[in-house]
Amino acid sequence: MGPVDVHSPAAEHAAELARARKDIVRIATAGSVDDGKSTLIGRLLYDSKAIFEDQYEAVARASKGDHVDLALLTDGLRAEREQGITIDVAYRYFTTPRRTFVLADTPGHVQYTRNMVTGASTADLAIVLVDARRGMVEQSRRHAFLASLLRVPHLVVAVNKMDLVDWSEEVFDRIADEFDAFAAKLSVPDLTVVPISALHGDNVVRHSPNTPWYEGPTLLHHLEHVHVASDRNLTDARFPVQYVIRPQTDGHHDYRGYAGTVASGVFRVGDDVQVLPSGLTTRIAGIDGPRGPVEEAFAPMSVTLRLDDDLDVSRGDLIGKPENAPTATQDLDALVCWMAEEPLRPRQRIAVKHTTRSVRAVVKELAYRLDVNTLHRDREAPELGLNDIGRVRLRATQPLFVDDYTRNRVTGRFILVDEATNATVGAGMLTPAG
């Protein structure tokens, strides 16, 4: 896919609408244990006034030492997760006058790779924390690689605890250069490095007088201004059908609409569209949004499409443009992150959920298991264990309509489901065959 034209009418309209309803940016945070991630999240919540006064007072009373321990604002969630109460990602929300942020707090431990994958799979931006005293460590590389693998468009390296290295410009430059060299081996389109002290708030919201040599943005300024509208695919029209709406009431006797979320591209009233897998074509008669009819819809709007002709359309079908159809295939080549205790092995049968469509499949081949620390490919690996990532080929019982993950992060991914337990056991990102 060529780069999306950020000056196209659709892109400008998307940006205008996003501004009007306050832009929403999804962030995944990652870092090693004790590098200050919880403190940074607490600092962002506190400085953006996203916590209540009584919460702050409770944290102040529980803090030890000379400073209010803002990490306590998120430690409760972390403790729950580590006790197995929830294995999902902890999400936090905060708002500034410019934007709303959805912040996925992903754990730092190696065994939580699956949580990092879950949190980063929908992220616009990833923050990787690095302890200034230790510099880049194995986990820094691991998290940067995962962010790159999941095609997170913007990566921020927050060099934390600068106060503990006497605000050394030399230390910061060394870490920035080392990270830049590592990122050059990955697919990282936008990398920003910021020196901070989450504990004291330096360069988080306000510029710090302790780093007069740093001329870049503060962390929050960067989060508020990073351009995410152009990251969305406005070229390939993809609309997975989630529900068929037929009220069959006196007021809506003949109403038939197809509800779902626009995965990518732009749909307008009057557009020629094609329904897959039937391949039948028709036109869009109308688009209904939550507040009434609209003339066009684009990702990630949730709308209902009405079609000119009475076609047989059901959940799991995909509506697109006849001149720009996705690939129909039963062979799925993908990088898979395995999330279950029981390993994934060749010849295993499994269910694949792709957008709103579910099919059965068999594991035809495990090409290799990837060491995300060294990027080494182990082609002799017999299986994928918990938190392993590897290249797999699946053969589905029915065709799926897919795009490469680098082209489309919605139609290019799927989840794997254990048919016996109905548990999610893996996440896959489609890659070109070969």
> Mean of the pLDDT values across residues 14-20?
51
Cis preceding-peptide flag for 277 (omega within 30 of 0): yes
The rounded distance, in Å, linking the Cα atoms of 330 and 25 is 34
**Out of 2-16, 213-227, 271-285, which region has the weakest mean confidence (pLDDT)?**
2-16
* Strand order from edge to edge, sheet including 125-131: 90-95, 99-105, 23-31, 125-131, 154-160, 190-195
Share of the chain above pLDDT 90, in %: 52
End-to-end CA distance of the chain: 19
Q: Quick one: pLDDT band at residue 329, thresholds 50, 70, 90?
A: very high
> Mean of the pLDDT values across residues 349-361?
96
Inform me whether the pLDDT recorded for 181 exceeds 60: yes
DSSP state of 342: S
Q: Quick one: pLDDT band at residue 84, thresholds 50, 70, 90?
A: very low
Q: Which pLDDT score is estimated for 185?
A: 81
Q: What are phi and psi of 213, to 5 degrees?
A: -80, -10
Q: Quick one: pLDDT band at residue 81, thresholds 50, 70, 90?
A: very low
The rounded distance, in Å, linking the Cα atoms of 148 and 389 is 14
283-286: list long-range contacts, CB under 8 Å, 24+ apart.
283/307, 283/308, 283/309, 284/308
Whether 218 contacts 181, CB under 8 Å:
no
Whether 1 contacts 236, CB under 8 Å:
yes
DSSP 3-state assignment of 149?
A: helix
Q: Which pLDDT score is estimated for 111?
A: 63
Give per-residue pLDDT as tens, 28-51.
Answer: 888 776 677 778 888 888 877 777
Q: Which pLDDT score is estimated for 159?
A: 95
DSSP state of 1: -
Give per-residue pLDDT as tens, 259-316.
Answer: 999 999 999 999 999 999 999 999 999 999 988 899 999 888 899 999 999 899 999 9
What residues does 128 pair with on adjacent strands? 30, 157
> Mean of the pLDDT values across residues 374-399?
93
Comparing 86 with 299, which gets the higher pLDDT? 299
For the whole model, what pTM was predicted? 0.78
Whether 227 contacts 18, CB under 8 Å:
no
Comparing 82 with 70, which gets the higher pLDDT? 70
Comparing 368 with 24, which gets the higher pLDDT? 368
User: Best-predicted range by mean pLDDT among 106-110, 140-144, 158-162, 405-409?
Assistant: 158-162
Whether 303 contacts 47, CB under 8 Å:
no
In angstroms, what CA-CA distances link 297 with 38, 287, 292, 308, 355? 38, 8, 12, 17, 18
Can you read off the two tokens belonging to residue 182? 């590592």
Inform me whether the pLDDT recorded for 9 exceeds 90: no
The rounded distance, in Å, linking the Cα atoms of 289 and 35 is 44
Q: Which of 260, 265, 227 is nearest to 408 (CA)?
A: 265
> Mean of the pLDDT values across residues 138-164?
89
Inform me whether the pLDDT recorded for 427 exceeds 70: yes
Q: Which pLDDT score is estimated for 80?
A: 45
Torsion sign (Cα): 307, 312, 318, 323: negative
Inform me whether the pLDDT recorded for 3 exceeds 50: no
